[in-house]
C-alpha cells in the first residue's frame, strides 16, 4: 500500500518536474540593462520636461507607423503628463496628419475631419490588415499600453525567479517596459557573421529572436534635436521610453501621491486606535 502510494507520488513529482528543462530550452532570455527613471520606485514621479521631449521624438520619428489610440490629445494637457499648454495641443490636434473618420453626415456618408482635443491620437493605418500589408506581414503595435505589455525576462536560473520577484516587489520595481524599449531602440547592431538575417529585417540585440521588421527609427547621426538644439540617440531613446511609460499609466503621479496620503492617514488612525484601546481597557482591573 505504502509502496504504491510512494510510487504514485514519485511519478507525480517526475511529471511535474519534467517540463522544467523543456521550458527553458530554445527560449533565449536576453539580458536587458535597467535604467534610471525619474518615475521609478515608491516615490518617483514623471518629469514633465522629459515627457515633452519624449512626445517630440514620438511625433517626429514614430507616429508615421505607430498610433496611440487609447490616448486623447487632451491627455497631453492634463496634470501628471507632459502638461503642454492647451492652445498648442489644440493646434497640434488640428494639424495631426491622421484624420478622424466621423459621420454619417446629412447625406448618410462618413467623412474625415481634423482632430479635436477629445479625439484619439491615431496612427497612419485604418486597421491591422492595412498596417500588416505595409510591413510585409509585421505589425507596428499601437503604443497605448506597449510599456506595460513588454517587460524584461529574468536571465538567472528559474529557481531564483521567486526571490527576484520578491526583490522587485520590495523595491517597487515596475519599469521593465521602458527598460526594454530603451534597450530595443539602442540595440540595433551589425548581425554576427553566422546569423541568418532575412531580407528586409534588421538585427537587434534586445528583440526576441534578434530579427525585427522595424528599420532603426533613431540614428546616431540623425537624432531628434530638442528645443535647446541638443539631443543624442540615447537621450531620444530614453525620453521616448519615458513618454511611453506615461502613456500606459497616465495617473501614476496622482496614484503615488494619494498612496502616501493614505499611508499617513492609516498611521494616524493606528495611533488613535491604540490610544483609545488603552483608555477603554484601563478601566478594567486585571
Ligand atoms: C517605418 C515604420 C516604423 C517606425 C517609424 C517606427 N516603428 Fe516601431 N515597429 C515597426 C514595425 C513594423 C514593428 C513590428 C516589428 C516586428 O514585429 O518585427 C515595430 C515594433 C515596435 C515595437 C515593439 C517591439 C516588440 O517587442 O514587439 C516597439 C516598442 C517600437 N516599434 C518602438 C518604436 C519607437 C519608439 C519608434 C520611434 C522612435 C518606432 N518604433 C518607429 C515600424 C516602425
65 close to ligand 1 (CB < 6 Angstrom): yes
End-to-end C-alpha distance for the chain, whole angstroms: 56
List the residue whose alpha carbon is closest to atom 1 of ligand 1. Answer: 65
What pLDDT is recorded for position 283?
A: 87
Across 1-10, 62-71, 182-191, 211-220, least confident range: 1-10
Q: What is the gyration radius of the CA atoms in the chain, in angstroms?
A: 26
218 close to ligand 1 (CB < 6 Angstrom): yes
178: closest CA among 64, 38, 280, 79? 38
Share of the chain above pLDDT 70, in %: 90
Copy the grid coordinates of residue 230.
541638443
Q: Which atom of ligand 1 is nearest to the CA of 241?
A: 35
Q: Which residue has the cell 488603552?
A: 278
Condensed to tens digits (0 to 9), the pLDDT of residues 105-135 reads 999 999 999 999 999 999 999 999 999 999 9
CB 178 within 8 A of CB 164: no
Q: Which atom of ligand 1 is nearest to the CA of 236?
A: 38
Give the largest Cα separation in the chain, rounded: 87
What pLDDT is recorded for position 16?
A: 55
Cα(74)–Cα(240) distance, integer angstroms: 19
Burial of 216 by CB count in 10 Å (0-12 exposed, 13-18 middle, 19+ buried)?
middle
For 257-264, the CB contacts below 8 A with 24+ separation are 257/45, 259/42, 260/43
Condensed to tens digits (0 to 9), the pLDDT of residues 12-55 reads 555 555 544 444 445 677 899 999 999 999 999 999 999 999 99
Q: Which atom of ligand 1 is nearest to the CA of 184?
A: 29
Residue 187: CB atoms within 10 A of its CB come to 20
Q: Which residue has the cell 532570455?
A: 29
Amino acid at each position: 500500500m505504502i509502496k504504491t502510494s510512494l510510487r504514485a507520488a514519485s511519478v507525480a513529482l517526475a511529471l511535474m518536474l519534467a517540463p522544467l528543462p523543456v521550458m527553458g530550452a530554445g527560449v533565449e532570455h536576453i539580458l536587458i540593462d535597467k535604467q534610471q527613471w525619474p518615475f521609478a520606485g515608491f516615490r518617483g514621479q514623471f518629469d514633465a520636461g522629459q515627457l515633452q521631449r519624449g512626445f517630440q521624438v514620438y511625433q517626429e520619428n514614430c507616429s508615421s507607423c505607430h498610433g496611440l489610440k487609447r490616448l486623447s490629445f487632451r491627455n497631453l494637457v492634463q496634470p501628471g503628463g507632459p502638461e503642454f499648454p492647451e492652445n498648442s495641443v489644440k493646434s497640434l490636434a488640428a494639424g495631426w496628419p491622421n484624420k478622424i473618420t466621423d459621420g454619417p453626415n446629412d447625406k448618410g456618408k462618413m467623412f474625415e475631419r481634423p482632430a479635436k482635443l477629445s479625439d484619439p491620437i491615431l496612427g497612419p493605418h485604418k486597421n491591422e490588415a492595412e498596417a500588416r500589408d505595409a510591413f510585409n506581414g509585421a505589425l507596428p503595435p499601437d503604443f497605448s499600453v506597449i510599456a506595460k505589455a513588454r517587460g524584461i525576462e529574468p536571465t538567472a536560473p528559474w529557481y531564483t525567479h521567486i526571490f527576484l520577484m520578491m526583490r522587485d516587489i520590495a523595491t517597487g520595481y515596475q519599469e521593465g517596459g521602458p527598460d526594454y524599449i530603451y534597450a530595443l531602440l539602442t540595440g540595433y547592431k551589425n548581425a554576427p557573421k553566422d546569423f541568418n538575417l532575412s531580407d528586409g529585417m534588421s538585427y537587434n540585440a534586445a528583440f526576441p529572436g534578434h530579427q525585427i521588421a522595424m528599420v532603426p527609427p533613431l540614428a546616431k547621426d540623425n537624432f531628434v534635436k530638442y528645443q535647446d538644439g541638443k539631443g543624442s540617440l540615447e537621450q531620444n531613446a530614453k525620453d521616448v521610453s519615458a513618454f511611453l511609460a506615461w502613456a500606459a499609466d497616465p495617473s501614476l503621479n496622482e496614484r503615488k501621491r494619494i498612496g502616501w496620503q493614505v499611508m499617513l492617514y492609516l498611521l494616524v488612525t493606528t495611533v488613535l486606535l491604540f490610544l483609545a484601546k488603552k483608555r477603554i481597557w484601563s478601566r478594567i482591573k486585571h
